[in-house]
Amino acid sequence: MIDVRHRNRSGLITVVVVDDHLLVAESVAAILDCAYDVAVVAVAGTGTQGVAEVLRHQPDVLLLDQRLPDGLGTDLLPALKRSSPRTRVLLLTSSDTENVLRRALEGGCAGVVAKDQRPGALLDAVRGAASGKTVFSAEDLRRLLPLLVYPQSGKAVDLTAREHEVLTFLVDGRDTAWIADNLVISFFTARNHIQSIIRKLGGHSRLEAVAIALREGIVAAP
């Protein structure tokens, strides 16, 4: 791991990595430290150490293993929020069951990252979390949808026909590139439609927009 005390940290995304397998933690740290815009400021092997490092460094992003020697990562979320409210938490897991996904979402995690994720995808997740995005895969989104449905309240939302079509794809767990290809539009146009849908539905992410759409009966669950 690069010693960030000797780097110019201005503008860098600071990260703490917590994993009980220190070889894994150091490997993740090495991958992230190779990026020009990321600096790993600490590595810890237990939840207690992780909370202490977050309190000390106030990082932009925390990569938190779900299974730690002194408890579950999701059980630490309240303490982490008190220690550093601005830190975005990405849960590292090798078994992203519906229960783990739900606990991560309800605890305020920015997303869930599989331990076998390719390095580029891990870096994208860290950058996305740092920029305020919710980081869940399309498959995880599909599995979360049944957990996010609530009774309807009849809210009226003024979506265009194309936005409604895009929203239907979002509910099905499709990503921006897939939507662009299937509607024969540019990636940027598809992204603009998604951002408009999120704004009109009053959400802060596509996940929240989908949950609101299902709750209000704007679209049907897949």
Instruction: Evaluate whether residue 9 is within a structural domain.
Output: yes
Q: pLDDT (tens digit, 9 = 90+) per residue, 115-134?
A: 888 888 899 999 988 987 77
Q: Are residues 70 and 169 in the same domain?
A: no
Residue 41: pLDDT above 70?
yes
What would the two tokens of residue 186 be? 């540019």
Structural domain count, the chain: 2
Residue from 157, 179, 177 nearest 166 by CA = 179
Q: Are residues 106 and 164 in the same domain?
A: no
The domain boundary residue, chosen from 136, 158, 189: 136
The domain boundary residue, chosen from 77, 103, 136: 136
Q: What is the CATH number of the domain that holds 85?
A: 3.40.50.2300
Instruction: Evaluate whether residue 84 is within a structural domain.
Output: yes
What range defines the domain where residue 153 resides?
143-215
Q: Are residues 16 and 114 in the same domain?
A: yes
Determine the Cα–Cα distance for residues 196 and 200; give it in Å rounded to an integer: 6
Residue ranges in the chain assigned as alpha helix (H): 22-33, 47-57, 77-83, 98-106, 119-130, 138-144, 161-171, 176-183, 187-201, 206-215
Q: Are residues 127 and 181 in the same domain?
A: no
Q: Are residues 101 and 160 in the same domain?
A: no
Q: Are residues 8 and 116 in the same domain?
A: yes
Average pLDDT across the chain, whole number: 84
Instruction: Evaluate whether residue 66 is within a structural domain.
Output: yes
Q: pLDDT (tens digit, 9 = 90+) per residue, 62-110?
A: 999 999 999 999 999 989 988 898 999 999 988 767 888 888 877 888 8
Residue 15 contacts residue 37 (beta carbons within 8 Å): no
Determine the Cα–Cα distance for residues 144 and 102; give it in Å rounded to an integer: 7
Q: pLDDT (tens digit, 9 = 90+) per residue, 14-40?
A: 999 999 998 889 999 999 999 999 999
Q: What is the pTM of this model?
A: 0.69
Would you list the DSSP string of 93-127? ES---HHHHHHHHHTT-SEEEETT--HHHHHHHHH
Q: Are residues 130 and 152 in the same domain?
A: no
Q: Are residues 71 and 130 in the same domain?
A: yes
Q: What is the CATH number of the domain that holds 180?
A: 1.10.10.10
Q: Measured in whole angstroms, how far is the alpha carbon of residue 112 from the centre of its chain?
A: 6
Distance set, CA 162 to CA 58, 156, 196, 202 (Å): 42, 17, 11, 18
Instruction: Evaluate whether residue 222 is within a structural domain.
Output: no
SS3 72: strand
